[in-house]
Each structure stands twice: as C-alpha cells, then as structure tokens.
Amino acid sequence: MLEQKLSNLKQRIQALKQVVVAFSGGVDSTFLLKVCMDALGRDHVLAVTARSGAFSEKEFIESQGLANLLNARQIIIELDELNIPGILDNPPERCYFCKRYLFNKFIDIAREQGYDFVVEGSNFSDTEDFRPGMVAIQELGIISPLKEVGLTKDEIRKASKEMGLPTWNKPSYACFFSRFPYGEKITREKLKRVSEAEDLLRGLGFYQFRVRSHEDLARIEVLPEEINRFFEQSFRDKITNEFKKLGFTYITLDLTGYRTGSMNEELKEGDRAAWKN
C-alpha cells in the first residue's frame, strides 16, 4: 500500500514538471521537498520559507540546514501575521486569513520565478482536524500531493526514515497562534512568552509538548508517559519559577496530555462543519 502511494506521488509530481514547494522544515514539507527534488531535479524545484514570529527561530534555522542538506534552492520571505486583516483578534477562522495571505505570496514568487505550480505538505491525517486554512489553499489552487495520494503522517515518517531524512522522528510543530484560545487577542509579547516557555521545556528534555496560553495562565501539555516527571516537587518548583519569570501567574498541567488541536475542542460541531474541506 505504501509503495503504491509513493509511486502515485512520484507520478503526480513528475506531471507538474516544475514546482515551488512551501517549505517549513517540518516532517511533511521536508519529505515533499525530497520527493520533488528526486522526481524533478534541482533546477525545477524551488523551496520558499516564511520567517515569522509565529514560529520558533530554531525551526527557521533548521529549515535552512535541511534545504542545504537536500541541495535545494531556497527563498526566504519575512512575514508578520499580526498585520494580516482578520488575525489580531484570533477568530476560529484565523488560519484561513493567514494561509490565504501567505500562499498568495508564494504564488507571486512562483510567477516571478517562472513556475506554474505551488505545492504544500498537508497529508491525509490532517483531514481529521478543524483546519480552515485548507479551504484557503484549495481556493487558491495550491496542490497538496501528499493528501491527494492518501499518505498519512505515520506513513510519511516511515518513508522519511527509509529515505534517510533526519526529520522522520521530528516532533510536530505548529504556529504559535494555536497556543491561544479563540477570541483572545494575540500580541508579540504573548507570542514571545509562549516561545520562551516552550524553549524551557525543550531544554528540559521534553519531546512533544505544547504550552497553551490562557491570558495569565499557562496550560502545559506533554506526552502522557512524561506526565510523571511533574510528580517531583523540585521539578514543579523549577517550572513554576521559570514560567512566572516569563509573566505567567498560574501554571497548570493538562492531565489529558499532549494532543494536536486541543484549542479546537471548544468549537461547536457547526463551526467545524462550516470549514470542512
């Protein structure tokens, strides 16, 4: 099954002849860039990466290293999401406005560089969550080849490992906007606070986690098997003290543990259905 999907993916990419790849340096976009490079060759592939305060600087630097590793040409654009209309007040459809703005930039670059197609790395597993950004991607005619051929996240990790890609077991990242409940106004200071809080957890050895910010309350999500680390008083004190230095008043641990899209749990089914892609 996986071999057939990979064969279908290669054929799909080859039919496009030359592509601009929306490249973040994550598991999916790195895999997609590798497949495009193998199928089309360096001269027919261009990686475009957005640098912004909504993603960690570490992730941006890693994207540059991965592009070099794959010998891919990379263009970097600066993006300030807080200046995009419809973003600042953080509505449920926030991702729609952001993706529409961002991928219009990618389309402009594609045209300037003489490319007809822009591809991005959404996969089949992404259809299980509330993702209004996918509506914008479809409206703009952006191609999502991994999703088209039915590749799941687990399959992409497996194939990445077989290809020797260092991202095969990389934790899942997401825009820092996803750390805030819908309706809470987002500021640069809040984004920076969340980024520094997650850097702290990363430095303590946590693999997959999120710091969800509810005004002055931090809700920590870690993998269920790592929750027991918080049973030690000295460890909790360290987390509490450091988070308070960052400006949080209350620090809590989510007993359910890490899961993607936990901020979407508050949405009603009607809200989800309106943005079903």
Q: pLDDT digit string (tens) for 219-269?
A: 999 999 999 999 999 999 999 999 999 999 999 999 999 988 777 887 655
Q: Which domains does the chain have, with CATH numbers?
A: 2-163 (3.40.50.620), 176-259 (3.30.70)
Give Rg (Cα) of the chain.
19
Give me the helix-helix angle, 153-163 and 2-16, nearest 10°: 80
Q: Is the pLDDT of residue 10 over 50?
A: yes
Q: What mean pLDDT is predicted for residues 71-97?
A: 92
What integer pLDDT is reported at residue 212 of this predicted model?
Answer: 97
Return the closest-CA partner of residue 178 out of 98, 277, 62, 78: 98
d(CA 122, CA 153): 9
Question: pTM of the predicted model, to two decimals?
Answer: 0.89
**What crossing angle do the helices spanning 27-40 and 153-163 adopt, rounded to 10°?**
50
| pLDDT at residue 262, rounded to an integer | 77
pLDDT for position 230: 96
Query: In 10 A of CB 202, how many CB atoms?
Result: 14
pLDDT for the residue numbered 276: 52
Q: How far apart are the C-alpha atoms of 102 and 20, rounded to whole Å?
A: 13
Strands 73-79 and 117-119: unpaired
Identity of residue 4: Q
Express each pLDDT in 156-214 by its tens digit.
999 999 999 999 999 988 899 999 999 999 999 999 999 999 999 999 999 999 999 99
Instruction: List, by residue number, the catalytic residues.
Output: 175
pLDDT of residue 275: 46
Residue 218 bridge partners (DSSP): 213, 251
Write out pLDDT tens, residues 64-83: 999 999 999 999 999 999 99
**How far are the Cα atoms of 87, 130, 238 from residue 80, in angstroms, in the given order?**
10, 23, 33
pLDDT at 269: 54
Q: Which residues contact 105 (CB under 8 A, 6 or more apart)?
A: 50, 77, 79
Mean pLDDT of 103-124: 96
Nearest C-alpha neighbor of 172 from the set 9, 6, 1, 29: 29
* Tokens coding 17: 């002849």
CA nearest neighbour of 168 among 177, 180, 159, 176: 159
Percentage of residues in the chain having pLDDT higher than 70: 95
